[in-house]
Amino acid sequence: MARNYYKPPPGHGKKHPPPFLKWRYAAAQILMIIICFQTIRTIFLPTTFDVLLIVILVSLYWYFRKKPY
C-alpha cells in the first residue's frame, strides 16, 4: 500500500480525454492548410476581408496548438 507523504497540488491527475486532444490537433492541421492557401491568395489579391480572415485563422490555429492546461 502506497502512502502519500505530501498533499498533491490542486488539479493533479486531471487530464483531457484523448479524443479531445486528437480533435484539437486534427483541427490545427486542417487550419494550417487553409492558412497557407489564404496567405497565397492574400498576397496576390489583398482585400480587407482576406486580411481579417487570415488573422482569424491564425488566431484559431494558435488556440488549437497551445497546451490544453
Domain range annotation of the chain: 22-65
Q: What is the mean pLDDT of the chain?
A: 84
- What pLDDT was estimated at residue 55? 96
C-alpha cell at 25: 490537433
Residue 17 has pLDDT above 60, yes or no: yes
State yes or no: pLDDT of 4 exceeds 80: no
Amino acid 15: pLDDT: 64
pLDDT: which is higher, 10 or 50: 50
Flag whether pLDDT at 1 surpasses 60. Answer: no
